């Protein structure tokens, strides 16, 4: 860390002998984003509503201890492989790799001691951006290759919170990085009145373990159709028996329309009560909608339960390393991994 950056940071504790810092980005419109280098985690996003009342719109703990004691992935950078790998096994170039099984028989978000548990180095910081770096050694959680990873968070004056991921490996590997923020754009205790539109004509159906079946199905005439803005509470209606039986809500990957590896609009989330709107753009082929089906934690004395917030995790498809029909998530030795996600905040 550059020494003269220390007076711009607030220490919130120590993990594995390393200081954990909180840094705050702020744009000319008064939007503030707090990020900590434990897990390269978005701790808060404070933005105005239609009455110019500022409020945090993501779930985040106040203390380092709370982050260490819970495994809900609040706002953190997850990987090496975000989402699930079936059986904790995949092959590259006829080499079979066995990675940590931390969700039944499957690997979720890269295993146990993954990117969200690391203290990242802060390598650059100014009023509107921060860049963090970490490494994952060859064999960590079973994944091949020594991978160096950089994540840059930037907040511009058009209210775009951009997350740019850069990485390189010394061996062929798989890599799928995302941010796991939970959004609630209102002052209400749940997101049932939020309106959600997802730019996806297709989705990837899942089996009872949350693993894609390998199919890519149309969303038409199903509860997966968010092509037009839909009230989240209506989509979660008990009549959607098949959906609720498997996941007790949404935990599904949607195939972003017009994916061509450039920045594409993936989704829009809005709240009619506050007037807040969030547009999501990504260079990735998929977006995972998770409606916080299993949330059970406490923040500032308030219980946070199911459907208190939702995630829109831009990603490569779950279990892509074992599904040749899906876009490849293989990162070749020496190639540059570069992906971007943008959350744009608007008020109407």
pLDDT, one tens digit per residue, over 22-58 is 999 999 999 999 999 999 999 999 999 999 999 999 9
State yes or no: pLDDT of 1 exceeds 70: no
Are residues 306 and 248 in contact, defined by beta-carbon separation less than 8 angstroms? yes
Q: How far is CA 63 from the centre of its chain?
A: 20
Of the pLDDT bands very low, low, confident and very high (cuts 50, 70, 90), residue 89 is very high
State yes or no: pLDDT of 132 exceeds 70: yes
State yes or no: pLDDT of 4 exceeds 50: no
> Bigger pLDDT: 245 or 266?
266
Domains in the chain (CATH in brackets) are 3-347 (2.70.98.10)
* Cα gap 238→244, rounded to integer Å: 7
**Rounded to the nearest 5 degrees, what angle is found at the Cα of 18, between the Cα atoms of 17 and 19?**
125
The helix, strand and coil proportions of the chain, stated in percent and rounded to the nearest 5, come to 10, 45, 45
State yes or no: pLDDT of 163 exceeds 60: yes
State yes or no: pLDDT of 126 exceeds 70: yes
Q: Tokens 């017009």: give the residue.
A: 258
HSE, CB side, 13 Å, CA atoms: give it for residue 34.
20
Active site residues: 180, 313
State yes or no: pLDDT of 6 exceeds 70: no
From start to end of 93-247, where are the E strands? 95-98, 107-108, 121-126, 129-136, 147-155, 160-169, 173-174, 178-179, 195-198, 202-204, 217-218, 230-231
Which range among 8-17, 23-32, 137-146, 265-274 shows the weakest confidence by mean pLDDT? 8-17
Neighbours of 321 (CB within 10 A): 25
Of the pLDDT bands very low, low, confident and very high (cuts 50, 70, 90), residue 243 is confident
Q: Mean pLDDT across the chain, nearest whole number?
A: 95
Provide the pLDDT for residue 3. 42
Provide the pLDDT for residue 242. 75
Mean pLDDT for 200-228 is: 97
Are residues 59 and 46 in contact, defined by beta-carbon separation less than 8 angstroms? no
Provide the pLDDT for residue 5. 55
* Cα gap 1→123, rounded to integer Å: 5
For a pLDDT cut of 70, what percent of the chain falls above it? 98
State yes or no: pLDDT of 283 exceeds 50: yes
Of the pLDDT bands very low, low, confident and very high (cuts 50, 70, 90), residue 121 is very high
* Cα gap 58→49, rounded to integer Å: 14
Whether residue 114 is preceded by a cis peptide bond, meaning omega within 30 degrees of 0, is: no
């Amino acid at each position: 860390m550059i020494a003269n950056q220390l007076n711009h940071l607030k220490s919130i504790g120590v993990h594995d002998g390393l200081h954990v810092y909180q840094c705050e980005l702020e744009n000319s419109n008064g939007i503030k984003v707090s990020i900590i280098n434990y897990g390269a985690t978005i701790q808060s996003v404070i933005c105005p509503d239609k009455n110019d009342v500022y409020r945090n719109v993501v779930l985040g703990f106040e203390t380092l201890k709370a982050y260490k004691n819970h495994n809900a992935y609040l706002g953190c950078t997850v990987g090496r492989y975000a989402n699930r790998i079936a059986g904790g096994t995949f092959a590259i170039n006829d080499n079979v790799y066995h990675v940590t099984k931390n969700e039944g028989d499957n690997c979720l978000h890269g295993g146990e001691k993954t990117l969200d548990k690391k203290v990242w180095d802060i390598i650059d910081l100014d009023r509107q951006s921060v860049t963090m770096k970490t490494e994952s050694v060859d064999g960590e959680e079973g994944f091949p290759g020594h991978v160096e990873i950089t994540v840059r968070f930037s907040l511009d004056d058009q209210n775009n919170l951009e997350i740019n991921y850069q990485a390189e490996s010394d061996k062929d590997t798989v890599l799928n990085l995302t941010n796991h923020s939970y959004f609630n754009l209102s002052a209400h205790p749940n997101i049932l009145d939020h309106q959600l539109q997802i730019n996806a004509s297709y989705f990837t159906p899942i089996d009872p373990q949350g693993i894609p079946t390998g199919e890519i199905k149309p969303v038409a005439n199903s509860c997966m159709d968010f092509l037009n803005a839909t009230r989240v509470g209506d989509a979660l209606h008990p009549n959607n028996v098949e959906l609720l039986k498997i996941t007790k809500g949404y935990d599904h990957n949607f195939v972003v329309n017009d994916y061509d590896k450039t920045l594409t609009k993936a989704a829009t989330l809005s709240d009619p009560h506050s007037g807040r709107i969030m547009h999501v753009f990504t260079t990735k082929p998929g977006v995972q909608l998770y409606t916080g089906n299993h949330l059970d934690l406490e923040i500032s004395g308030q219980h946070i339960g199911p459907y208190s917030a939702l995630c829109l995790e831009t990603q490569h498809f779950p279990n892509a390393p074992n599904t040749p029909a899906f876009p490849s998530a293989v990162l070749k030795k020496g190639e540059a991994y570069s992906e971007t996600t943008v959350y744009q905040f608007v008020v109407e």
